[in-house]
Amino acid sequence: MVQIGTDLLSVAGVDEDTRQVVVEARDVRKSFGSFEVLKGISLDVRHGEVVLVIGPSGSGKTTFLRCINHLEKINGGTIRVNGKLIGYREKNGKLVADKEKEIARQRANIGFVFQRFNLFPHKTALENVMEAPIQVRGLKEDEARAIARSLLARVGLEHKIDSYPAQLSGGQQQRVAIARALAMRPTVMLFDEPTSALDPEMIGEVLAVMKELAHEGMTMVVVSHEMGFGREAADRVVMLDDGVIVEQGPPTELFANPQHERTRAFLSKIL
């Protein structure tokens, strides 16, 4: 097993990573019917860490990501975000399903970026970003507008704030979607194949925004086949296959010298 949690601290010779754990998955299991997609996944993501999750299609990457903010209900194990269980409460040593309000409150702190953007088509770019801060955080309209404006400027779309999603290119839509998630000031951002639905010439603009986020210290879990992003921005790459973590490690090591046969086979196809 390759060492976990390589970052500046371990380079400096400190073995123990003292940064707060933001996402803590323990033996997570998930089945669709009789088909077990996740067969016990344990993973810690620490504050400021950028984790790239790779693996062949059907390996459970997307499912795992969706479990983190409880878009999928898990069948076993636990997931904690910021120390709090997701979707469940502990009651007399047993896990009880949480109330919808409580789940919603936790989701508000977890940004999620979808493969197919899922922007609200009846709202402009600005309104898409303003919606949740107003509805969920209870911000005043002008406060939300100011935040939305600055976030859209940050993703390079200040000239498109009044456009509807249908009037934007795929890359622009995905950047609006990132701004929309950031508007909630999440403690962790989850990206579900954010560039897979994009034309090749638009992938770069989305990755640039994500790299910038990573350099600013955002905690990120990214499911993607963009190995270039992994090399440049990820602290750790996690290889998933058949519902289990096959191996993980810093991108330079894992890409150059994969330990596991399945990782080698996968990387040889994709690199």
Site residues for another protein per CB under 8 A:
69, 71, 100-101, 104-105, 107-112, 114, 116, 118-124, 131-132, 135-136, 164-166, 180-181, 184
Query: Least distance (Å) from another protein to the CB of residue 135?
Result: 6
Q: Which is nearer to another protein, 108 or 227 (CB)?
A: 108
Q: Pick the closest to residue 210 from 199, 221, 201 (CA basis).
A: 221
Cβ neighbours of 230 (radius 10 Å): 24
Query: Least distance (Å) from another protein to the CB of residue 96?
Result: 18
CB 49 within 8 A of CB 235: yes
Query: Least distance (Å) from another protein to the CB of residue 110?
Result: 7
Q: Pick the closest to residue 55 from 256, 197, 212, 254 (CA basis).
A: 254
Query: Least distance (Å) from another protein to the CB of residue 222?
Result: 16
Which tokens go with 152? 């859209």
Query: Least distance (Å) from another protein to the CB of residue 245?
Result: 24
Q: Which is nearer to another protein, 190 or 245 (CB)?
A: 190
User: How many helices (H) and strands (E) would you count in the chain?
Assistant: 10, 12
Between helix 170-182 and helix 125-135 the angle, nearest 10°, is 20
Q: Which is nearer to another protein, 186 or 230 (CB)?
A: 186
Q: Which is nearer to another protein, 37 or 177 (CB)?
A: 177
Q: Which is nearer to another protein, 105 or 215 (CB)?
A: 105
CA distance 175 to 254: 29
Which tokens go with 136? 């969920």
Q: Which amino acid is located at 10 in the chain?
A: S
- The DSSP code for 98 is P
Query: Least distance (Å) from another protein to the CB of residue 138?
Result: 11
Strand partners for 238: 53, 248
Q: Which is nearer to another protein, 15 or 100 (CB)?
A: 100
- Residue the block writes with tokens 């903010």: 69
Query: Least distance (Å) from another protein to the CB of residue 167?
Result: 8
Cβ neighbours of 1 (radius 10 Å): 9
CB 165 within 8 A of CB 119: yes
